[in-house]
Amino acid sequence: MKKMTNAVSLVLLFTFFFVACKKDDKKTTAEKIEGTWKIHSDVTHAFVNNVHYYDTTFAEPGSTIEFRKDGKVYSLYQNSKDTSTYSLSGDTKIIIDDEPYDIKTLNSNTFEISSKEVQGQNYAEEILKLVR
């Protein structure tokens, strides 16, 4: 019985050390972005001549964007296919076809990017929400 207790204790001790010493599997921004995302919605918010405008477009089923390791992005949106290029600028900006976007949210399930154009007191902002 004592040998059994020692064996169980030894197994528990090894389990503790392996779990405690496990390396953190944090992914880089590039690794989080890579892969296929479903397009959820495209929100436009504009302020022109002191008037606010809001428009939300929900994507059709099957609309996707795929970010690849080689810096190419393939999209299928509103029955139209497109191929573009992308690159990262730090962990907070993504440039798609020379257009900069701020990364608002990026986790394993949600990826939101936005761009904002300002002219005087007027502005237009677009927020694209992608989901896995």
| Domains parsed from the chain with CATH numbers | 27-131 (2.40.128.20)
pLDDT at 25 over 80: no
Give the model's pLDDT for residue 3: 52
pLDDT given for residue 29 in this prediction: 95
Tens digits of residue pLDDT in 72-122: 999 998 889 999 999 999 999 999 999 999 999 999 999 999 999 999 999
The predicted model gives 13-31 an average pLDDT of 63
**Rounded CA gap, 92 and 101, in Å?**
9
Gap between the Cα atoms of 75 and 131, Å rounded: 14
List helix spans (H) across 21-120.
Answer: 29-33
Q: What letter represents residue 23's amino acid?
A: K
Interval 61-85: pLDDT, tens: 999 999 999 999 999 988 899 999 9
Is residue 128 predicted with pLDDT exceeding 50?
yes
The pLDDT assigned to 13 comes to 44
